Amino acid sequence: MREAALRAAIELIAQQGYAATSMAQVAAAAGISPSGLAHHFPSKNALLGAVLDHRDAEDTFVRERSHEPWSAFDHMVHVARRNMGRRRLVALYMTMIGEAVAPEHPAHAWMVRHYADVLDTLRDQLRADQQRGTVREDAPVEAIARSMVSLMDGLQVQWLLDESVDMAAVLAESVAAMKRTWGTELV
Amino acid sequence: MREAALRAAIELIAQQGYAATSMAQVAAAAGISPSGLAHHFPSKNALLGAVLDHRDAEDTFVRERSHEPWSAFDHMVHVARRNMGRRRLVALYMTMIGEAVAPEHPAHAWMVRHYADVLDTLRDQLRADQQRGTVREDAPVEAIARSMVSLMDGLQVQWLLDESVDMAAVLAESVAAMKRTWGTELV
DNA sequence: GTCTATAGAACGATAGAC
DNA sequence: GTCTATCGTTCTATAGAC
């Protein structure tokens, strides 16, 4: 079954990375032969594409429009909390990021798009808040957005090493500090 | 020459990761045969060990003792600035982190030790500053230390994707915010 | 210290039967 | 949709000559 093969691939790539995972391993974990796997995914690259599509579908950080100040930032805290119950998804994300920084990696384009999307969402939120007067005019939009993404990414690494780390709490602390520093009294 | 082989290995692992790099590739890049390489590094694992040792030697974030408030944090900003001229070192670090989150990875123990060292240094600094009265007693030491490490790591990913990102400036901005939020007037 | 030669296994991918 | 069979390649590692 295609579904079982996809799940097996996600599990293995999350644990070992894409380069270290072989088609034979995926096939064995799915309970079929390598050729049976090849029927659904004619190449290793095609399998990776399906894995990334599945990941994006499960990742809820979509561009959402809200008029609440800092709502995109609060939403990331919420995502962090939910991720603390989804180790497989977090591990898959981090192994992909680590491999796909290389420009030649088959997932590099996916990674570039992912960062562009998240950064754009945060930048848009900050600029909209500035126009509404809930974020100070002199707030460094670019630095704040990039810091938020860095915190999100870095905390996932530390949480994978030690699940007692409360990603959401640490992130919420930083978001609160951002609000204190760059928010206006209008909030 | 052992030196040339080590340099080739660092270059290739930085670009492709450990799993995707073969001994034959390293040997070719070093201008020797795979067997010539095997003389210096009898196994791929031994080569990885040498690469990690070399990385640690080049990484200057040693436990340093200073009585300046926040000096460990200011030092990380300095390291970030210096890293902006060392793409190979940054790329090697990120690919290793991505792979070594897996507990079975040969570099996992190295990664665990690395994070323990950096986090301990930052925690010690914050606690010492609290005792000296330059950091507020109610400052969340653990969250601040983990946030700092996350910022450092995450910014390196973003910088690898787009070298126009000023890691040091973004990090300095966050450190300044931390000082405003948790520092006392004694600073 | 570097080489040739080679072992033995795993790799991705394809062809064709059922 | 899954299989057997197999191609050609690449992999890590070892043995032994120079």
Instruction: Give the Cα separation of A54 and B139 in Å (integer).
Output: 40
Q: Is residue A65 part of a domain?
A: yes
User: For position B63, what pLDDT does the model report?
Assistant: 66
CA(A41)–C1'(D1) in Å? 13
Asked if A2 and A44 touch (Cβ cutoff 8 Å), the reply is no
CA-nearest residue of chain A to B99? A95
Q: Is residue B14 part of a domain?
A: yes
Candidates A99, A149, A177; nearest CB to B154 = A149
User: For position A21, what pLDDT does the model report?
Assistant: 98
- Same domain, yes or no, for B44 and B86? no
- Same domain, yes or no, for B38 and B106? no
Which residue type does B59 have?
D
Residue A187 confidence class, pLDDT cut points 50, 70, 90: low
Q: Is A174 on the interface with B (CB under 8 A)?
A: yes
- Same domain, yes or no, for B86 and B43? no
- Same domain, yes or no, for B153 and B114? yes
Strand nucleotide closest to residue B39 (CA to C1'): C1
Which residues sit opposite A16 in a β-bridge?
none
Which residues, including other chains, have CB under 8 Å from residue B175's CB and lie 6 or more apart? Answer: B70, B73, B74, B76, B77, B148
The answer, yes or no, to whether residue A157 has pLDDT greater than 90, is yes
pLDDT tens profile A84-108: 999 999 999 999 999 999 999 999 9
- Same domain, yes or no, for A73 and A160? yes
CA-nearest residue of chain B to A14? B102
Please name which of A50, A42, A57 lies closest in space to residue A18, comparing C-alpha atoms.
Answer: A50
Task: Look up residue A68 and give its two tokens.
Answer: 């609440």
Residue A121 confidence class, pLDDT cut points 50, 70, 90: very high
CA(A24)–C1'(C10) in Å? 9
Instruction: Give the Cα separation of A45 and A106 in Å (integer).
Output: 7
The answer, yes or no, to whether residue A61 has pLDDT greater than 90, is no
- Same domain, yes or no, for A102 and A126? yes
User: For position A138, what pLDDT does the model report?
Assistant: 97
Q: Is B178 on the interface with A (CB under 8 A)?
A: yes
Test the B interface: residue of A146, A159, A164 with most B CBs within 10 Å: A146
pLDDT tens profile B55-98: 999 987 766 778 889 999 999 999 999 999 999 999 999 999 99
Which residues, including other chains, have CB under 8 Å from residue B91's CB and lie 6 or more apart? Answer: A101, A102, B14, B15, B160
Test the A interface: residue of B87, B149, B174, B175 with most A CBs within 10 Å: B174
| Positions in chain C where some atom is under 7 Å from a protein CB | 1-6, 10-16
Range of the domain at A68: 59-182
Instruction: Give the Cα separation of B141 and B138 in Å (integer).
Output: 9
Instruction: Give the Cα separation of B58 and B81 in Å (integer).
Output: 15
Would you call B153 and A150 a contact, using CB atoms and an 8 Å cutoff?
Answer: yes
Instruction: Give the Cα separation of A154 and B153 in Å (integer).
Output: 6
The answer, yes or no, to whether residue B128 has pLDDT greater than 70, is yes
- Same domain, yes or no, for A72 and A164? yes
CATH of the domain at A63: 1.10.357
Q: Is residue A187 part of a domain?
A: no
Rounded to a whole number of angstroms, the distance between the first and last alpha carbons of chain A is: 52
Candidates B101, B143, B173; nearest CB to A169 = B143
Asked if B18 and B10 touch (Cβ cutoff 8 Å), the reply is no
- Same domain, yes or no, for A90 and A130? yes
DSSP 8-state assignment for residue A104: T
CA-nearest residue of chain A to B182? A177
CA-nearest residue of chain A to B149? A154
The answer, yes or no, to whether residue A62 has pLDDT greater than 70, is no
Residue A185 confidence class, pLDDT cut points 50, 70, 90: confident
Question: Mean pLDDT throughout B104-122?
Answer: 97
- Same domain, yes or no, for A42 and A97? no
Task: Look up residue B103 and give its two tokens.
Answer: 């507990």
Q: Is residue B85 part of a domain?
A: yes
Average pLDDT value for chain B: 95
CATH of the domain at B43: 1.10.10.60
Number of domains in chain B: 2
Task: Look up residue A63 and give its two tokens.
Answer: 């561009």
Q: Is B181 on the interface with A (CB under 8 A)?
A: yes
- Same domain, yes or no, for A25 and A66? no
Q: Is residue B187 part of a domain?
A: no
Boundary residue ending a domain (A34, A51, A68): A51
Would you call B161 and A91 a contact, using CB atoms and an 8 Å cutoff?
Answer: no
The answer, yes or no, to whether residue A23 has pLDDT greater than 90, is yes
Task: Look up residue A64 and give its two tokens.
Answer: 């959402």
CA distance A64 to chain B (A): 23
User: For position B66, what pLDDT does the model report?
Assistant: 81
- Same domain, yes or no, for A107 and A178? yes
- Same domain, yes or no, for A96 and A160? yes
Question: Mean pLDDT throughout A15-19?
Answer: 98
Test the A interface: residue of B12, B146, B151, B170 with most A CBs within 10 Å: B146
A165 phi/psi in degrees, rounded to 5: -70, 130
Strand nucleotide closest to residue B2 (CA to C1'): C1
Question: Mean pLDDT throughout B127-137?
Answer: 96
The answer, yes or no, to whether residue B186 has pLDDT greater than 90, is no
